[in-house]
Amino acid sequence: MRFRHPLLKAVTASAVLWGATAAYAQAPAISMVSPLALKPGTATDLKIRGGALAGSTGLSTSIGVDAVLTPDLAGNNTNAAEVSYRFTLPPEAVPGIHVLRIATPTGVSAPRLFCIDDLPSVAQVKPNSTMAKAQVVTLPVAVDGYVDNLQRDYYKFTVTAGQKVSFEVLAQRLGTALDPLIRLFDASGKEITYADDTPGVGADCQLVHTFAAAGEYILEVRDIRYQGGGNHQYRLRMGDFPCVSVPYPMAVKKGTSVNLGFAGISGAEVAPVGFALPAEMTVPFLAVAGKAAGQNFSGWGTLAVSSTDELLEAEPNDAPEQATKVTLPSGLNGRLDKAGDVDRFLFTATKGQRFLFQGVTRTQYSPTDLVLRIANAQGGEIANLDDTGTEEGVLDFNCPADGDYTLLVEDLHKRGGAEFVYRVVVKPFEQPLVLNAAVDTLNVPAGGLLAVQVNAVRGPYTGPIFLSLANAPEGFVATPVVIGPGRNAVTMTVRCDAAVPAGKFYPLQIVGKTVLNGAEISAVASVADGYKATLFGMPYPPGNLVSTPVAGVTNAGLFTLSTATPEIIFGKDLSATVKVVVARVGDFAEEITIAVQPVQDGLPAGITAAVKPIPKGMNEVEIVFSANNGAPLGQFSAVLIGTGKKENTTTVQPIPALFLTLKAPFELKTEIPNGKIAKGQTVKVKVVATRNPAYAGPITLTFANLPAGITAAAAMIPAGANEVEVDLVAAADAAAANVANVTVNGEGLNGNAKLTAAAPAVGLVVE
């Protein structure tokens, strides 16, 4: 194998939409592509089926080859349900799984996965739901089809005696709803073998069988639950190719060379070959493919592109004295060759060194369920970790003393074999900030806004997390928002200028920043959860997709909303008013309802918004935000969303995200001239109030901790005023004193609610 990716470019991915906008026209949607694969060295017409596809302006894919509308096809690009594009791949195009999107003047579609495959493709011919009606195919071949509800698909083929054939179904790995099962029968209908949930390929299945006798055989494909329909698509591969799932090693450092092999049920048959990774690689993952000796077609996997050293275990390493010596930080790659195998890596660390050991297996389609343990030089276990549900585990190790330590790696279920490879990424400790956004496509109305929910897994971060867009395309702006103290989610808003051209793809990236122990921490929001939902619960979307959303421009709505100010300030037992202004389009004059986004938990506890509609024919409304005594202080963000209807058109538009700043009702400061007073003297003490804009009422003042013989007259800062002078009187017989804790307490009333604050303590010398 050699490096064959001169045309590869970064995957164009989709973003996290929360609070969609229904406007004048529907964004494009892809329900099916046919065929499900492009063949290297050939031109392939790819039919894209779905909705709102007419007038498409282009495709975005991860294969690095431009597509053109299929020429000489009558009516092409005029049918809302189907459009055809022609791809011409170079012979060196590498088999693997890729992503596709389509753009139209009404937006961009959600992603769809497809393949590059060197097997020849044929389409399913229905009906083939009984053995008697089995579709006849000639090996080698790949069939693109789908299973109907409560049905099975059958394929008949002929082999010679001793012929070895690989069978593979791609369904979950292509993001379809099918959970496939395959069964192999002889011509009489007797079952020979079957495959379901092959280790390493998730819910998909692989099977390798050597036929003892020549003749006709039948393969059955069905859903394990007997479910089906147009979204239960599959690509059935049959022929002479290796059944593999992941390359080994699983990662290669940029600018280095390795002997690259594969893991899987046929992984041992693929001899490792030299593989060089250019230093300038910018993508985090790369499709790689290989063949076994004597085979004509490829199996493939996904290779991680690393910026750190990637080290391989050295066998034997089963005994403590045989442990592979490594230097940290680095990536550690290994294979559990047999059941019960335990691999050992020896490293040296100093007291207080802290490392994170991150397991990597299932996200790259290795079946290994890692258990990590760390032992000291005496063999005693001092740290261990299993995974965290469906996520890979992370072991946080703080070295207790200078010395040698051993990392032990094994499978949770003591499994082993050619397919059980793994990678452990070891890096210096850092507090992880994890951000997630929950949908995969942003179609922003021209001149309007879209709401996006972002969730945080805080860990030790208790303070505010500020969100923004990084490297946003011209014309796209996100109102800065904050996940306030104690909150785990926020709704941010993305605006698209009216002049931004439609029919194009605009990559976006949501980033969050916070401060921990004086250090700024940042993270890019993952959109994996959005892809999982779009791709029928696909547990591990391709790694290229999960951090770079793509936006499209859709039609302008019936109206847009704005506010007179980007921030309102109030506090406990206080209220503030924000004016929401509507800009109506054309003759739209109907009522616009207003709600908090999201309805259930869009505001922190103790804060309410008295929402009311913008009346028909009116262009603004005032919304009052109030906080009770239990509301938290700090800075938060909130979004109000408006819904308006005209005939069959509905527009849902948010306001630009609004900062809610909750402060004390007032702050006091005491100014005593020179900090002194003489016996028998009266001095003017100034008390200054810095008011919360939400409170303008009077503030009654009282002095505390005055020395004996010192008195202050009752005082009040009048409503609307910010300071007052108070006479401080020293009796003629006042004793000399030097105190440091003279305090002025303030009290106000807002209705029946008592508002209090105290000035910082100041010193007073009595002479």
Q: Where are the domains of the chain?
A: 121-239, 241-429, 559-662, 666-766
Gap between the Cα atoms of 4 and 96, Å rounded: 12
In this structure, what token pair is assigned to residue 56?
């498409």
CA count, 13 A, side-chain hemisphere, 157? 22
Angle at 612 between CA 609 and CA 616, to 5 degrees: 155
Q: What residues in the chain have per-residue pLDDT under 70?
A: 1-25, 387-391
Given a contact cutoff of 8 angstroms between Cβ atoms, the answer to whether 249 and 188 are in contact is no
What is the SS3 assignment for 362?
Answer: helix
Full-model pTM:
0.88
Distant-in-sequence, close-in-space partners of 152: CB < 8 Å, separation ≥ 6 = 129, 220, 221, 222
Looking at domain 666-766, its CATH architecture is Sandwich (2.60)
Cα 435 to Cα 433: distance, rounded to the nearest angstrom: 7
**CA 33 to chain CA centroid, nearest Å:** 25
In sequence order, which residues have a C-beta less than 8 Å from that of residue 181 and are 6 or more positions away? 194, 195, 196, 205, 221, 222, 223, 224
512: its two tokens: 């969050």
- Report how far residue 709's alpha carbon sits from residue 490's, in angstroms, rounded to the nearest whole number: 55
DSSP one-letter code for 131: G
| CA–CA gap between residue 154 and residue 630 (Å, rounded) | 65
Alpha-carbon gap, residue 89 to 46, rounded angstroms: 12
Across 510-534, b (16+ Cβ under 10 Å) vs e yields: bbbebeeeeeebebebbbbbbbbeb
SS3 category, 98:
strand
CB 66 within 8 A of CB 88: no
**Cα–Cα distances in angstroms (integers) from residue 368 to residues 97, 289, 331, 421, in the given order:** 21, 21, 16, 7
Question: Looking up tokens 């009311």, which residue turns up?
Answer: 612
Whole-angstrom distance, CA of residue 372 vs CA of residue 411 = 9
Amino acid sitting at position 610: A
CA dist 444 and 498 (Å) reads 10
CATH number at 121-239: 2.60.120.380
- Rounded CA-CA distance 397/356 in Å is 6
Query: Phi then psi for 133, rounded to 5 degrees?
Result: -105, 20
Looking at residue 4, its pLDDT comes to 30
Buried b (16+ CB within 10 A) or exposed e, 191-221: eeeebebbbbbbbbbbbbbebeeeeebbbbb
∠ CA 121-123-129, rounded to 5°: 130
Amino acid at 174: L
Q: What is the pLDDT of residue 516?
A: 84
Q: How far is CA 358 from CA 109, 240, 372, 386, in A?
A: 34, 36, 9, 11
Q: Which fold has domain 241-429?
A: Jelly Rolls (2.60.120)
**Range 371-374 contact pairs with CB under 8 angstroms and sequence separation of 24 or more:** 371/409, 371/410, 371/411, 371/412, 372/407, 372/408, 372/409, 372/424, 373/407, 373/408, 373/410, 374/405, 374/406, 374/407, 374/408
Domains 559-662 and 666-766 share a fold: yes
- The pLDDT of residue 195 is 97
For residues 726 and 728, give the distance between their C-alpha atoms in angstroms, rounded to a whole number.
Answer: 6
Instruction: Give 707-767 as a DSSP string.
Output: PTTEEE--EEEPTT--EEEEEEEE-TTPPPEEEEEEEEEEEEEETTEEEEEEPPPEEEEE-
Provide the CB-side half-sphere exposure for 320 (13 A, CA).
Answer: 11
Residue 439: predicted pLDDT = 75
Residue 634 dihedral angles phi and psi, to the nearest 5°: 135, -175
CATH class of the domain at 559-662 = mainly beta
Q: Which tokens is 661 given?
A: 């700043």
- Cα–Cα–Cα angle for 360, 366, 370, nearest 5°? 50
Q: Which two tokens stand for residue 357?
A: 């050991």
Task: Calculate the dihedral angle through the C-alpha atoms of 12, 18, 20, 26, rounding to the nearest 10 degrees.
Answer: 30
Pairing of strands 658-662, 567-570: parallel
- According to DSSP, residue 534 is labeled H
- φ, ψ dihedrals at 253, nearest 5°: -75, 140
Q: What pLDDT shows up at residue 385?
A: 83
- The bridge status of strand 575-584 relative to strand 620-627 is antiparallel
**Residue at token pair 């779009």:** 534
Which three-class secondary structure state does DSSP give residue 105? coil
Say which residues have a Cβ less than 8 Å from residue 79's Cβ, sequence separation at least 6.
53, 54
